[in-house]
A = this chain, B = another copy of it.
Amino acid sequence: MRPGEAAPVTVIPVTGLDEVRPGDDLGGVLSDAVSGGPAGSTTLLVDGDVLVVTQKVVSKAEGRIVPVSDDAEAKRALIRSESVRIVRYRGELLITETRHGFICANAGVDLSNVEEGTAALLPVDSDRSARRIRAVLGRRLGVEVGVIISDTFGRTWRRGVTDVAIGAAGVAGVIDLRGTRDANGRILEATEVCVADELAGAAELVMGKSKRIPAAIIRGVDRSWLRPSSVAGEIVRPPSEDLFR
């Protein structure tokens, strides 16, 4: 069998989005972009696709942009106000736990790709943001898709950041392979794969950091992954299971 005979997965950058402003209907803006613009007739998003949308544009649409003066103390205060706990710190770097249970640098407060003198906070509830976008896409375009809200997190022990899922709707956070068999017929033990994070990371491959591409379509994902979901419920590890806080 040749590679082409098994199903590929394709990651398609979504370009041509209008500048997003507070109060904008992001689902509507995205619907326009994935159907060739407001006047377009070709829907490029199809049933079974997963649309990955970056946190920055969600935060903008939801008015989570706040003013912050360009001094270290003001920035630290803002980060603390977005945190429930400081996990580690060194110099300017703060690793904190957010209200959502995410543990990340600077409580997810972002000072790049927003206007000077402002910062972008994480959405209040990114699962809800994903559900809303998904509902608008369904209504406007008649498609059933998964939606992931992604953000850029560092990792322990490994250099470099990767994009991960902070919200999801209609696409699995974690798939559970426990009880299924490996290629040798042995029962797999405790293999839970976080496909939402892998999808978010794959989307980043076409987004870059400064190309104004705030969304990507992933086509060809396993159909069984398209189901009701939530990052809060599936991916955030509860403190009782955690060995590192």
Contact = CB atoms under 8 A, between A and B. Distances in A.
Interface of A: 1-16, 33-34, 36-37, 40, 42, 44, 88, 90, 95, 102-103, 111-116, 152, 155-164, 173-175, 177, 180-184, 186, 188-189, 191-195, 197-199, 201-202, 204-206, 208-213, 217-218, 220-222, 234-237, 241-245
Q: How many of these chains are in the complex?
A: 2
A206 B6 contact: yes
B209 A180 contact: yes
A156 B103 contact: yes
A22 to B, nearest CB: 16
- 4 closest A-B pairs by beta carbon, nearest first, are A160-B194, A202-B202, A198-B201, A160-B174
Main secondary structure of the interface of A (DSSP, over half): loop
Contacts of A115: 184
B2 A157 contact: no
A9 to B, nearest CB: 4
A113 B182 contact: yes
16 contacts: A2-B15, A2-B16, A2-B37, A2-B44, A3-B12, A9-B10, A10-B10, A90-B243, A114-B184, A155-B194, A156-B242, A158-B236, A160-B235, A161-B193, A182-B209, A188-B210
Contact of A11 (B10, B184, B235): B10
Contacts of A164: 158
A191 B161 contact: yes
